């Protein structure tokens, strides 16, 4: 292309995005587990011939921002030929935490080199380890489940059964895992077909130029936003309650440096706590993913998110900290909890830059609940995994939404009908947690109450936060309510508190109650 054609670029952008969306639809329709087919805990993306992301599905932010590192790890360490698919989940090789399994497939047309790479990531509700559901308060990554480096799951179109069986022999629910892995393979093949068809409309040089133009366009959009920000250095901090092993708080600190003349933004996390013994450590991919999410929030809704979006950003971390953990640190909660707190902290700093745009803190925890055991209906193991929504923070012009997933998660709930059909559980209550949102000129959204009765002896694991540090309000608004969890044991009349990061074996008949945080309020209340 001798000159940028904005209409053609818009058509190309939407075509690429539609392929990523179709990947997700195929994965959802063919998956076996409720976690994928009901909650939609998956993400899909398209990468160019240089393994740079050019299109993302409207899926899970925590997946999408970190997936490029998984693709880079696969492409740089494996020989991926036509018909091959790589698989990996290693957080120290581009992954996030072990339940998130990523597949990477090269796409060939007539050329001898890939013209695209496609990737599908899904959260599997069990990948082994010492806790059912693989999301417990562990102390090192070796306790969290099977760790998969970049290897072939499909070679020359043929399933690598030795690799598949190795995975299935290390999980509690192999039938479900095999079905979900097959769904991911199918999603990649759908994307392969669609991108090959797309490539037939363009010459190879033209296709490469369109990818470059799309990345450049994303970069210009971010630089345009940065030009409008006041120059300066803005500092913020927030805390995770603890790491599940020690009682002390875990600090996330950021210094945000804006240079509108250079159209650059630096996010410096070097003041954050050293990596901890518990499982809330985040690898650098997670921190980068949180930064990408915040940048995306500053752009218009129709803006493409690509590798170019990150070009104006400088991310600064210290290795061996809770935001840039090193092996063998446990990381199951870094993906789901620390990612949320990183976003909370960045937004708190940005509120000093653009107070008329930034909302108060949302719930700030995914409230990860895992229940596993033996289902007496079929005598097979089961693992139920859920992230329970909370309140959204109020903004400068609106109340927060109640009972919604926010920031780094974009999943749905498991409908009661599907939950009770699939698992030996009975839902006793599912409601809004009234008045849990922070007060203010605009009120924070309310959290949720979800109460279960265990219909089988089970291992219950909770990986959550905000039992000690509430979601903050802004501009005079009040904080949202803290989270709570409790259990009523069989024969007991009083509730027993459940720690935010804990695992315990509970008898059939136990009633478990989760109350999620409300969002912070915005502005001093008028009353």
Looking at residue 94, its pLDDT comes to: 80
Task: For residue 375, give the nearest of 426, 428, 427, 422 by alpha carbon.
Answer: 422
The 10 Å CB-count burial string (b at 16+, else e) for 404-432 is bbbbbbbbebbeeeebeebbbbeeeebeb
* Dist. CA 364–CA 372, nearest whole Å: 25
pLDDT tens string 443-485: 999 999 999 999 999 999 999 999 999 999 999 999 999 999 9
Share of the chain above pLDDT 90, in %: 93
pLDDT at 1: 40
Q: Is the pLDDT of residue 38 over 90?
A: yes
**Lowest mean pLDDT, pick from 2-6, 356-360, 481-485:** 2-6
Burial of 308 (0-12, 13-18, 19+ CB in 10 A): buried
* Segment 234-244 mean pLDDT: 98
Q: pLDDT-derived band of residue 352, with 50, 70 and 90 as boundaries? A: very high
Question: What are the CA-CA distances from residue 272 to residues 256, 390, 465 (Å)?
Answer: 14, 25, 17
Q: Return the closest-CA partner of residue 447 out of 455, 457, 458, 438.
A: 438
CB atoms near residue 162 (< 10 Å): 7
Q: Please report the sign of the dihedral spanned by the C-alpha atoms of residue 480, residue 274, residue 408, residue 337.
A: negative
pLDDT at 167: 98
Mean pLDDT of 287-315: 94
Angle at 61 between CA 113 and CA 173, to 5 degrees: 85
Does 64 score more than 80 pLDDT?
Answer: no
End-to-end CA distance of the chain: 61
Average of per-residue pLDDT across 320-344:
97
Is pLDDT at 187 greater than 50 in this prediction?
yes
Mean pLDDT score of the chain? 95
Q: 293: buried, middle or exposed (CB in 10 Å: 19+, 13-18, 0-12)?
A: buried
Structure-token pair, residue 176: 């479900």
Q: What is the pLDDT of residue 317?
A: 98
| 18 neighbors 44 (Cβ within 8 angstroms) | no
Give the pLDDT band (50/70/90) at residue 63: confident
Q: Which residues contact 418 (CB under 8 A, 6 or more apart)?
A: 34, 38
CA 50, CA 106: separation in Å to the nearest integer?
Answer: 11
Are 122 and 101 in contact by the 8 Å Cβ rule? The answer is yes
Q: What is the DSSP string of 136-199?
A: S--SSGGGS-----SEEEEETTEE-HHHHHHHHTTSS-HHHHHHHHHHHHHHHHHHHHHHHHHH
For residue 119, name the pLDDT band (cuts at 50, 70, 90): very high
């Amino acid at each position: 292309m001798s000159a940028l054609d904005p209409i053609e670029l818009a058509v190309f952008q939407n075509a690429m995005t539609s392929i990523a969306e179709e990947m997700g639809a195929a994965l959802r329709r063919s998956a076996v587990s409720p976690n994928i087919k009901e909650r939609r805990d998956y993400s899909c993306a398209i990468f160019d011939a240089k393994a740079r992301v050019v299109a993302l599905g409207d899926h899970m932010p925590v997946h999408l921002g970190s997936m490029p590192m998984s693709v880079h790890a696969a492409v740089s360490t494996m020989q991926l030929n036509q018909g091959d698919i790589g698989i990996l989940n290693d957080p120290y090789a581009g992954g996030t935490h072990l339940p998130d399994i990523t597949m990477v497939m090269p796409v060939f047309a007539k050329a001898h080199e890939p013209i695209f790479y496609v990737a599908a990531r899904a959260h599997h509700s069990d990948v082994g380890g010492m806790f059912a559901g693989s999301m417990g308060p562990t102390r090192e990554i070796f306790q969290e489940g099977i760790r998969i480096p970049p290897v072939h799951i499909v070679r020359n179109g043929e399933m690598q059964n030795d690799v598949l069986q190795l995975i299935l022999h290390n999980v509690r629910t192999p039938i479900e895992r095999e079905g979900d892995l097959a769904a991911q393979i199918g999603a990649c093949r759908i994307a392969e077909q669609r991108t090959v068809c797309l490539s037939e409309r363009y010459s190879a040089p033209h296709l490469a130029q369109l990818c470059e133009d799309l990345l450049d366009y994303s970069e210009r959009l971010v630089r345009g936003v940065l030009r409008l920000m006041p120059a300066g250095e803005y500092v913020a901090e927030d805390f995770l309650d603890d790491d599940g092993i020690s009682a002390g708080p875990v600090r996330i600190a950021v210094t945000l440096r804006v240079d509108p003349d250079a159209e650059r933004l630096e996010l410096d996390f070097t003041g954050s706590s050293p990596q901890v013994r518990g499982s809330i450590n985040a690898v650098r991919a997670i921190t980068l993913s949180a930064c990408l999410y915040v940048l995306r929030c500053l752009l218009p809704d129709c803006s493409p998110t690509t590798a170019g979006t990150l070009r104006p950003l400088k991310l600064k971390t210290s290795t061996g900290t809770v935001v840039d953990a090193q092996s063998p640190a446990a990381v199951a909660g870094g993906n789901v909890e620390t990612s949320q707190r990183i976003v909370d902290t960045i937004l708190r700093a940005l509120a000093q830059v653009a107070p008329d745009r930034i909302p108060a803190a949302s719930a700030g925890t995914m409230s990860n609940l895992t229940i596993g055991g033996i289902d007496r209906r079929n005598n097979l193991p089961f693992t139920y995994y859920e992230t329970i929504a909370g309140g959204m923070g109020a903004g400068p012009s609106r109340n927060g939404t109640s009972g919604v997933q926010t920031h780094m998660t974009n999943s749905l709930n498991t409908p009661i009908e599907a939950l009770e059909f699939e698992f030996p559980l009975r839902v006793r209550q599912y409601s809004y947690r009234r008045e849990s949102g922070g007060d203010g000129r605009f009120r924070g959204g309310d959290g949720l109450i979800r109460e279960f009765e265990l219909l089988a002896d089970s291992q219950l694991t909770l990986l959550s936060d905000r039992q000690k540090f509430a979601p903050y309000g802004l501009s005079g608004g009040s904080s949202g309510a803290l989270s709570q969890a409790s259990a009523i044991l069989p024969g007991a009349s009083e509730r027993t508190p459940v720690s935010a990061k804990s695992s315990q074996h509970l008898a059939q008949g136990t009633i478990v109650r989760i109350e999620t945080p409300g969002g912070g309020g915005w502005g001093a209340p008028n009353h």
